[in-house]
């Protein structure tokens, strides 16, 4: 359940097929933008070796971790193929051209 929405900027602030990192407390969240302007958010930590997903390659609704090439679904946070594990998914929505990131308030 989302308690709060954080305005993380304009959609144009996030490069197509790239990411922008946001800190929520001690957690780093990667906000991704696909080639077709879909917005997704995951904890910026690969389930394999905690690699920075924000530095990975965004493609086909997934991001490939830059450390060991694990492919993670942007929608579910689940590792694809034979790899197992997942990273936390955060809700996102657009308010006009503003990107809002949902999180649980403390």
Residues 4-25, mean pLDDT to the nearest whole number: 97
How many whole angstroms separate alpha carbon 62 and alpha carbon 26?
24
Can you say whether the dihedral through the CA atoms of 23, 29, 34, 37 is positive or negative? negative
**Bridge-based pairing state of the strands 18-24 and 27-33:** antiparallel
Residue 1 CB coordination number (10 Å): 5
pLDDT tens per residue, range 44-70: 999 999 999 999 999 999 999 999 999
Assess if CATH 2.40.50.840 describes domain 4-103.
no
Please tell me the pTM assigned to this model. 0.93
pLDDT in tens, 83-106: 999 999 999 999 999 999 998 865
Nearest to 90 by CA among 44, 56, 37: 44
The domain spans of the chain are 4-103
């Amino acid at each position: 359940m989302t308690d709060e929405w954080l305005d993380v900027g304009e959609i144009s602030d996030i490069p197509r097929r790239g990411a922008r990192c946001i800190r929520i407390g001690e957690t780093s969240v990667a906000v991704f933008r696909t080639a077709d302007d879909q917005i997704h958010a995951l904890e910026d930590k690969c389930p394999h070796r905690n690699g920075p997903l924000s530095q990975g390659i965004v493609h086909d609704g997934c991001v490939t971790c830059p450390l060991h090439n694990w492919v993670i679904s942007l929608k579910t946070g689940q590792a694809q193929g034979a790899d197992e594990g997942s990273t936390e998914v955060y809700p996102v929505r657009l308010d006009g051209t503003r990107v809002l990131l949902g999180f649980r308030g403390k």
